[in-house]
Amino acid sequence: MATDIAGMIRDLRSRIATGGLPADSRLALLQDVKELQYELETPRETSNRYRYSVCALLDFPSSTYCIGKIMLTKRSATQGLDLTITYIFYQLGLFDALVKPAKSPISTNDLANETNADPILLGRLLRYAASSGFVKQSSEDTWTASRATHSLVIPSSEANIEQAFTDALPLYVDLPRFLVQNSYQNPTDSRNTVHSLTHNTPLHYFDWMKRNPEHYAALNKFMAANRRTTTGIGAFPFEDKVPSLFETESPETPLFVDVGGGRGQMCRAFRAKHPDLPGRVILQDLQLAIADAPSVDGIEAMAHDFFHQQPIQGAKIYFLRHVLHDWPDEKAEAILKPLVEAMDKESVILIDEKVLPDVGASSTAAGLDLLMMCTFAASERSERAWKDLLGKVGLKVEYSVRYNEEEGDVIMMVLPEK
């Protein structure tokens, strides 16, 4: 079957290359390809494509903003519009209205009544949405949900798009200007970033977030939604690799310390996987994040700045998920050093991050790398980059599991070098 499909694709490419497709067939095929992409994608892949394929149409005030002689294409401009229209649909509740089975197809006027939006405006927005495939137009004035609608209506997609629109899109717009001002040098200073340029602030991103609750709320919603998806906790063989976890008898033994753990999703996942283990499960983050974390039996919440000395000594596991990719190497070393100092002979560090391949990185992983660059002057690291970073603080990867091949997610067990 796969061989037949590959042959059909080769034949189609050959016909396209030789001009063997009539204009009407070419346009119909373009629409089919667009719909096929939605059919093949998971909901997460759809929302991530909207998130990371953004290229806004800019009216540059001077040639200083141009990137060489590269011109934005019509399609690159509409990618920014896709994100904008999707965000408006969330604000109006249009995706929810469209997926109600009792009301499909639904007229523009009915949608206007549900959303309190002007029907003429709504028709124009829906017309564009249908042209991009994230709704279907049934007739001149009626609309139904498409595969993309069902992918975008789920809460994690909404959180993804909301955070991309409010936080990431302004950075992508300013990236060309930032690169010109910094002579196209790779950013490494976490206080000289695209984010600091966009918001005209000397503050680090996290300090700025504390003063901007709307952005902070969108970030927390995004992090919570994405941490509910597959993680390394489920893939890691704790019994085999950390046997001392299962030998402890004291309820005072620190088992699992989630460093920079946000609202505690990973602590809850660990407790759910090992509900009967005696010992302490500890969530650590700054006070602002701890105050927002739900109280859960069996999980301690502790305000802690991970650049300072680790207060929990000799834990079985120090866990870091999506922490180090927020920081350039110098700061990442400063986060790891207190953990190395706190470890005893039975301690391990688990790092749950992306590990980029040398060739063929996914668009999601490569896009997230650029977002880390814009926001923090940080990066998603390759295997070699991880080895170099860990080696600087006397650590090495002892064992790893790649649990999400498409997005490059890996959980690494890290130990001191012998």
Radius of gyration of the chain (CA): 24
DSSP-derived pairing of the beta strands 106-107 and 136-139: unpaired
Backbone angles phi, psi at 278, to 5 degrees: -75, 145
Q: Which of 311, 281, 312 is CA-nearest to residue 297?
A: 281
Q: Which of 313, 301, 315, 303 is CA-nearest to residue 254?
A: 315
Taking the C-alpha atoms of residue 89 and residue 71, their distance in angstroms, rounded to an integer, is 29
Annotated active-site residue 325? The verdict is yes
- Calculate the alpha carbon distances from 348 to 108, 146, 337 in Å: 58, 47, 13
Taking the C-alpha atoms of residue 230 and residue 409, their distance in angstroms, rounded to an integer, is 9
Structure tokens at 142: 């009626």
Query: Which residue(s) pair with 139 in the sheet?
Result: 142
Q: Which of 26, 105, 150 is CA-nearest to residue 34?
A: 26
Taking the C-alpha atoms of residue 45 and residue 364, their distance in angstroms, rounded to an integer, is 8
| Residues with a known catalytic role | 325
